[in-house]
């Protein structure tokens, strides 16, 4: 489980996260939603240690990431898989080499075992016959799937996804959401997903946290979100015609 306690983050005078406290549960898809610029990505970057908060704690099974030294952070990061908004695949490596990369770094597997594992992960995300292609040779949806395969290659305990279905068509986006949800339950990992896609929320939102102007404004799940009377959240939900009709 990942717990956040009294997290503050600012850039200069501008406070981006204000006293955020929440838990992200194991084996469930934990969604962070909010408008663009509300602080979702900053929160996620604080969670994985890419940003250092001014104060507060980020607890990975009771171990505080913020106060750790670099070596301890590095050991926790070996248990983290992350899917970036733009996939962040390494351009100079093939699809297979991208998936093998974390195994190269942290395991003593033989090359055969690593290839076998990479093939397993690629099959798990429904990708075949792309092993020797470079990221520039595959589509956006395939890149996201390769990024997921790379993220799960080293059996992570924590999976972070920053807007995993942005820029994808609704069908591919739904496939990606479903895939993340399945992997979360199958491997019993803690998954945190940043999104402003309401389809994702209604499809896989086991736990949903709504961030508004840097504050944790609302908590619930995919069922309770449709019955909310929180005005800021309603304003966010009503921006989507589909959700608006659903709530009515």
Enumerate binding residues for other proteins (CB under 8 A): 45, 48-50, 73-78, 80, 82, 84-86, 88-91, 101-102, 104-106, 160
Torsion on CA atoms 158, 52, 67, 27, rounded to nearest 10? -20
Q: In the complex with other proteins, which residue's Cβ is closer, 76 or 233?
A: 76
Q: What is the layout of strands, in order, in the sheet containing 14-24?
A: 14-24, 2-11, 55-60, 63-64
Least separation in angstroms between residue 42's CB and other proteins is 13
Structure tokens at 76: 């926790």
Which phi and psi (to 5°) does residue 201 adopt? -60, -50
Q: In the complex with other proteins, which residue's Cβ is closer, 33 or 47?
A: 47
Q: In the complex with other proteins, which residue's Cβ is closer, 115 or 234?
A: 115
Least separation in angstroms between residue 201's CB and other proteins is 24
Q: How far is 166 from 156, CA to CA, in rounded Å? A: 23
- The answer to whether the beta carbons of residues 248 and 45 sit under 8 Å apart is no
Q: How far is 57 from 59, CA to CA, in rounded Å? A: 6
Q: In the complex with other proteins, which residue's Cβ is closer, 19 or 79?
A: 79
Q: In the complex with other proteins, which residue's Cβ is closer, 118 or 198?
A: 118
Least separation in angstroms between residue 147's CB and other proteins is 9
Least separation in angstroms between residue 236's CB and other proteins is 26
Least separation in angstroms between residue 98's CB and other proteins is 10
* Residue recorded with tokens 């995300």: 125
Q: Could you tell me the maximum CA-CA distance found in the chain, to the nearest angstrom?
A: 57
- The answer to whether the beta carbons of residues 43 and 211 sit under 8 Å apart is yes
């Amino acid at each position: 489980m990942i717990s956040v306690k009294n997290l503050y983050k600012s850039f200069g005078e501008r406070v981006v996260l204000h006293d955020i406290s929440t838990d992200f549960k194991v084996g469930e898809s934990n969604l962070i939603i909010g408008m663009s610029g509300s602080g979702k990505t900053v929160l996620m970057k604080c969670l994985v240690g890419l940003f250092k908060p001014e104060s507060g704690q980020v607890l990975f099974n009771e171990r505080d990431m913020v106060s750790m030294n670099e070596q301890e952070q590095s050991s926790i990061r070996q248990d983290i898989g992350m899917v970036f908004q733009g996939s962040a695949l390494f351009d100079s490596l093939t699809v297979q080499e991208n998936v093998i990369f974390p195994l190269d770094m942290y395991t003593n597997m033989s090359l055969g075992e690593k290839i076998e594992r990479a093939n397993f992960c690629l099959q798990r995300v429904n990708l075949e016959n792309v092993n020797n292609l470079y990221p520039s040779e595959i589509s956006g949806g395939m890149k996201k799937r390769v990024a997921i395969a790379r993220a799960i290659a080293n059996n992570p305990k924590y999976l972070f996804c920053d807007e995993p279905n942005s820029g994808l068509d609704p069908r591919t986006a739904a496939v990606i959401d479903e895939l993340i949800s399945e992997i979360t339950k199958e491997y019993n990992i803690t998954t945190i997903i940043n999104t402003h896609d309401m389809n994702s929320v209604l499809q896989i939102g086991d736990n949903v946290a709504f961030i508004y102007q840097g504050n944790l404004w609302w908590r619930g799940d995919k069922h309770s979100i449709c019955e909310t009377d929180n005005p800021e959240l309603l304003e966010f939900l009503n921006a989507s015609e589909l959700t608006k009709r659903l709530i009515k």
